Structure 1
């Protein structure tokens, strides 16, 4: 049974991962609405570390709602955190999950039963409080502030994605949906699959960036082992490099190509197009 939610804008909202790609956007929007908001992370104004449960209680104290950006590790700490959040009085949970969690084989063999995201979803669903699950695909921002940025800037993007396509989703859309779920009625028990409005392959992506910057990075096709080795050479821990490599599987297979309707269902508008994302990022000088 889900208990009735009575969260008001005057009560604190805790944003786990409050300095990350979606978290910092959620924090900015909530504060813009006048909602008391705690940006929780190892470097945020509210100390929080997934690896240190001793930091959880203070972050949760008095919070009415939580946006959960989970740790992508197995076993997932999300179920234990959800249990503690509910015990502390949290009445609304919004979980950042991932597209394809409910599709067997979507991420390859390393993500049985949805992997860590599946563990988190099951915990949120069983929490007894109001919940909403967001399932975004690959972020457009991975080209502007993520793992692909150095390649685009350096003029050579090496990926094992072949001709695979993805409907890259803008992190601003994810944040807008998260804020709606945290502050409005009508989102309880909803699972929102989030994507952009059209699918692109990597050549398309680099063409879009070149139109705005006048400089086009080359797409270098490598195999997955070479990609993983390259990440480790750049300083990524072995485990993290493996996770990034596995996460590319839905692009390689074009599993991320179909357009999803979550932004429209949650917000009543179409998702931002990749061209809009590129134009805004280029105007900020992201790619030099």
Structure 2
């Protein structure tokens, strides 16, 4: 039977996609460097064959923007008969200097049916990344100012990905995925604090301070600088605001941030 391969199968979107596919009895194989059904390291082509064996559809995630390796994996997947590719990309990937620009091009040129997902900031970043520990300590410090963005629920991303992996309806679509309403980080933190009953606040810091702190916490300097630039763009009002990709894909509105927050109570 056709197998669906989920890269990043232990991550925020990958594990949710795998859960949904398995609930539908769709044969599903998760792949990651650790903790998944099959070990897959994009930097080790020797691990690719086992991951791709019998696969007809794949969800693709680039784990490291410093060393983009997905284009070669895409070519290998297409050569092995994978006929459907769904790529987790990013809004900025439409620009040639973005690390994912070449990945999107590889997917579009692969010869397979493809769908590209460009989600904005994940709501789950507040509870499933390093932000969680900062919030629990009472303060989230980022160089975002009062910039506003429509945080997207990872459950919506997973729902769209499953639709793209299991039908032809979204082939050839590049979908901008966001929540329905833009919030500042300060507003988001206030909503989370009210729901959880834990005191927390957002603190605006300058980009250099952010980079220094991120590197001290173990982030590679290049990644810290990239993220500082992303936050600075948000601060400067460059976020495009709510987009309609979830409704286009699913025929329903995106989940509001408040629905995500409601799940944090207790």
TM-score (normalised: structure 2): 0.95
Distance 2:251 2:201 in 1: 37
Counterpart position of 2:104: 121
Counterpart position of 1:24: 15
Q: Which runs of 5+ in 1 are unaligned?
A: 1-9, 105-112, 284-288
Deviations 1:143-187 (A, max 9, x none): 111132122111011111111111010111000000000002211
Counterpart position of 1:96: 88
Task: Measure how far apart 1:235 and its partner are.
Answer: 2.4
Distance 2:233 2:41 in 1: 29
Task: Measure how far apart 1:114 and its partner are.
Answer: 4.6
Distance 2:23 2:233 in 1: 35
Distance 1:80 1:24 in 2: 24
Query: How many residue pairs are counted as aligned between the two chains?
Result: 265
Counterpart position of 1:48: 40
Task: Measure how far apart 1:17 and its partner are.
Answer: 0.5
Task: Measure how far apart 1:129 and its partner are.
Answer: 1.1
Counterpart position of 2:55: 63
Q: Which of 255, 258, 263 is the equivalent residue of 1:275?
A: 258
- Structure 1's consecutive aligned runs of 4 or more residues displaced over 4 angstroms after TM superposition are none
Distance 2:46 2:264 in 1: 38
The RMSD of aligned alpha carbons is 1.5
Does residue 265 (structure 1) correspond to residue 255 (structure 2)? The answer is no
Q: Which runs of 5+ in 2 are unaligned?
A: none
1:64 alignment partner, SS class:
strand
1:134 alignment partner, SS class:
strand
Q: Which of 178, 181, 187 is the equivalent residue of 2:161?
A: 178
Counterpart position of 1:37: 28
Task: Measure how far apart 1:76 and its partner are.
Answer: 1.9
Distance 2:59 2:13 in 1: 10
Distance 2:66 2:237 in 1: 25
Task: Measure how far apart 1:45 and its partner are.
Answer: 1.6
Distance 1:257 1:131 in 2: 24
Task: Measure how far apart 1:250 and its partner are.
Answer: 3.8
The worse-fitting range, judged by mean Cα deviation, of 128-137 and 201-210 is 201-210
